[in-house]
Amino acid sequence: MPPKQLRIGTRASQLALWQANWVKSELEKQYPGMEVTLTKIKTIGDKILDVPLAQVGGKGLFVKEIEEAMLRGEIDIAVHSMKDVPTEFPEGLGLYCITEREDPRDAVISRNVKFSELPQGARIGTSALRRQAQLLKVRPDLQMVIIRGNVETRIRKLEDEKLDAVILAAAGLKRLGFTEKVAEYLDTDLSIPAIGQGALGIECRLADPVITETIAFFNHADTSHAVRAERALLKRCEGGCQVPIAAHGTVSGGELRLVGFIAAVDGSRSVHGEISGPVTECEQLGIRLADQLLAEGGKAILEEVYQREIASPSHP
């Protein structure tokens, strides 16, 4: 029997609230009469907006405080953007469902100019080292400008900071109704998405069968297999938000294809690879591709990135 009441923990950004409200609405459709409430929680990633994420340091910048509320029994489930979810969880908590993926691509917001048409030395706003590395690999002339804040704030920075383009995840733009602002969607061959990009994850106390049974219908098998492979690769590489690691899995007819990428922040050195196999081996495929990338030069690139991290201390 599902509970009469269910409490969802979420960040308070416009996109996070859209995602949590979507989960709320689906629960109410599935279980008429259930009372679903949202609890807004501010995370460290929301509080520190004047520093690039790569310098804040640590993992789970957008989930830690939400997990702490769950451990205190203040919420029953948490809704996360999968790309924000660390590969390790506090004891007793875990990811129970991964929802069907929205568009996983990156999108260009500009003054109607496509990426290939951007002028020499164009100023590009992004918060992700992964995007910087991949775009600089193709266009080393570009100037990367770190931008933080919610989706609307980042779009506004196109004008406020005199940028030529801003790169954002297509999924968030589609969910918030900003697709008319998109000049171009970047092919995943040009800009491999972040791990889990476009999918939502629902976290809960794993030892609570009432909750796990209640939310089980959210899980989308193909997306879950793809994202688990991507996350296995990330975990094997011991990557956090400071490292330009990208991976994208696609499933067709029980077969999983996984593409992965590790790069220096300036795009000057990179390794790229892919692997295919049955979805039942999704996590092993992620580990195998990670090992391949690390052996082909990824390990040396990551060691250099981590050395630079030690040399420039994190935000207190």
pLDDT digits (tens, 9 = 90+) for 240-284: 656 789 999 999 999 999 999 999 988 999 999 999 999 999 999
Average pLDDT along the chain = 91
Residue 312 has a pLDDT of 54
pLDDT level of residue 54 (50, 70, 90 thresholds): low
For residues 30 and 117, membership in a common domain is answered with: no
Answer with the one of 164, 186, 208 that is the final residue of a domain.
186
The number of CA neighbours under 13 Å toward the Cβ of 87 is 18
The token pair that represents 266 in the structure block: 């300036």
85 with 207, same domain? yes
What mean pLDDT is predicted for residues 210-230?
98
pLDDT score for 42: 85
Residue 16 pLDDT > 50 = yes
Q: Between helices 282-293 and 221-236, what is the axis angle to 10°?
A: 30
Spatial distance between the Cα atoms of 195 and 79, rounded to a whole number of angstroms: 16
With respect to residue 46, please indicate whether it lies within any of the assigned structural domains: yes
Same domain, 2 and 94: yes
Q: Is 21 left (phi over 0), alpha (psi -120 to 50) or beta?
A: alpha
Per-residue pLDDT, averaged over 71-98, amounts to 95
Is the predicted pLDDT of residue 314 greater than 50, yes or no?
no
Contact 127, 53 (CB under 8 A): yes
Q: Is the pLDDT of residue 187 over 80?
A: yes
50 and 126 belong to one structural domain: no
Q: Which residues are catalytic?
A: 84
User: What count of residues does the chain have?
Assistant: 316
Let me know if residue 314 belongs to a domain.
no
Query: For the chain, what is the domain count?
Result: 3
CATH number at residue 230: 3.30.160.40
Q: Rounded to whole angstroms, how far apart are CA atoms 79 and 26?
A: 13
Supply the pLDDT for residue 240: 60
Whether residue 301 sits in one domain with residue 240: yes
What is the rounded distance in angstroms from the CA atom of residue 56 to the CA atom of residue 40? 22
Confidence of residue 127 (pLDDT cuts 50, 70, 90): confident
Each residue's pLDDT tens digit, 111-121: 999 999 999 99
% of the chain residues with pLDDT over 70: 91
Q: Within this chain, do residues 124 and 172 fall inside the same structural domain, yes or no?
A: yes
Residue numbers of the domain that contains 210:
1-99+199-219
Confidence category of residue 60, pLDDT binned at 50, 70, 90: low
Q: Do residue 153 and residue 19 come from a single domain?
A: no
Output the pLDDT for position 165: 97
pLDDT class for 84, splitting at 50, 70, 90?
Answer: confident
- Give mean pLDDT, residues 45-51: 60
Residue 199 has pLDDT above 70, yes or no: yes
Q: Which of 64-68, 148-152, 229-233 has the highest mean pLDDT?
A: 229-233
Half-sphere exposure of 243 toward its Cβ, with a 13 Å CA cutoff?
Answer: 25
- Nearest by Cα to 240 from 29, 84, 20: 84
Does residue 240 form part of some domain?
A: yes
Residue 19 shares a structural domain with residue 95: yes
Out of 67-81, 89-103, 292-306, least confident range: 292-306
15 and 71 together in one domain: yes
Higher-pLDDT residue of 99, 54: 99
| Average pLDDT over every residue of 77-95 | 94
For residues 174-195, average pLDDT:
96
To which residue do tokens 């040009």 refer? Answer: 190
Q: Which of 15-29, 121-135, 146-160, 296-310 has the highest mean pLDDT?
A: 15-29
**Mean pLDDT of the 47-61 span:** 58
Residue 249 lies in a domain: yes
Task: Identify whether 122 is part of a domain.
Answer: yes
**Is the domain of 8 the same as that of 122?**
no
CATH number at residue 42: 3.40.190.10
* pLDDT class of 52 with cuts at 50, 70, 90: low
Q: Which pLDDT belongs to residue 149?
A: 83
pLDDT category of residue 59 using cuts at 50, 70 and 90: low
Q: Is 80 exceeded by the pLDDT of residue 44?
A: no
